[in-house]
Structure 1
């Protein structure tokens, strides 16, 4: 008589979910750099805010003692019609520069994907050379090129019969002057943005582009619907950096105008410098600088939030 062997269906084995262990290593690695950055930035920013709350002129500078005025410097600054014009001018200037930088950099980066390796190497070398050129040296070269007496730009435009540009001073008209400043600024910003976008374009999967091409998409459709969404985090980063750099521009305006810019050319940094060192109102100059920092924080907060949201989605 055989023994009957019975088995019980135990059902699916239930596993207790493991508690996710907190990894301290990334935070330990980033802490020294974070503390160093905080130490470098905290003191000058703190002194800037402290100075903006005081009346600090030439007499106070000699005495090393300012007079506490609280928020009066901010009230005077914000109520000043010139300050309001400077803010609007700076914002418009920043938008134009950032847009032109991103557009031209994207076109050059896409071009570098299509050209041969030797041509790409030459383009890359030229971009690195422009980026490595000291800012003051580059501005001096552009200043000579747009010189109203010996400038090569005036000579070429005259020879091409665009108009009579002999002894034409580009900076007599603020609109023309800002066009020149924009050219110089965008020219100096393109290399970094182009190289960054080119490196990102190399990471776009070829099979995705080939699939879109097989489906009949045109090149501009492939870029707009396939490439651009993939590069959105990179576009947000370079746009944020370009906004910070262009909103705080100083050298291009100050040097091109021979260290004597009129009020028509005041942007935030130049206006703050003029109030601080031109009329020796260091408290007002510091207040303008603080407002400038606050505007940048508000603007860049949007880009940082968009970048984090994009990272969470991907």
Structure 2
């Protein structure tokens, strides 16, 4: 598995307006790569590349953020959101639920990174959200703290400008559909992109600060802040586990669940149209690298367990020996000193 600092990622965005295309070798998700692959589509993306490169920097950070979270969420799964050569590209060319998750987490990552850059003052095009006025019912509804319903509070502080991040995420990641054509893949991609962005917006949290004499809290000023991106990843992982298989409707412009007993599609659902391969065995056609050599843990059928992860092909025990910091102590002033200790660890490896 590649380290986060070695993000040589092959992302397949074959439709116009995507961040990257799969080429003959892995691509680093950097601003230059994004802009080179935006040129064929022209329009607003080209203009941003030429006049506002700082936004492209944040788009690239968001893409890396999304892929790191994908690797975390799938670390115990047979497909662990990594790939070498063209394998990752081949997986993402399929319209499977893993592709749905990647599209969602990438759209969320770009939104999150751009919005955070706005709040930190790294982008001049945006900043804090202006204070909003509204009735108490609206405020109480938005606040996760029921106690606030009985107290007077006002919008204030520095709210995160999630709407600007949303706009940039849509601009770079949403498919530009051709007039009169609505293919199923485009509709699915657009839906999953939006589900990723909604995962950020619906997990926004309200932060408040007390004001009053002698530390009392007679008045609170509150503002909306981004969620931790791990929360967004957890939200989308739940959506992945409940992903809905769809097909094109008779009108050719919409999607419906393949299973007629499933409720109508919600905006937060991740959707797909093809079943996933089992990822047990390396397969060049599907891009599967198999699970041979993966580290597993324990027995059972849960993700990460040896029987499940190794696809019942068995596993072997190995002893890893390495050094790590230990017995760390804080030394006045401001230095932490550690010893190096030898560590032996027993691990199970899939055959």
Q: Normalized against structure 2, the TM-score is what?
A: 0.25
- Greater Rg over alpha carbons, structure: 1
Q: Normalized against structure 1, the TM-score is what?
A: 0.27
Higher strand share: 2
Higher helix share: 1
Flag the structure with more relative contact order, 1 or 2, with Cα contacts below 8 A and sequence separation at least 6.
1
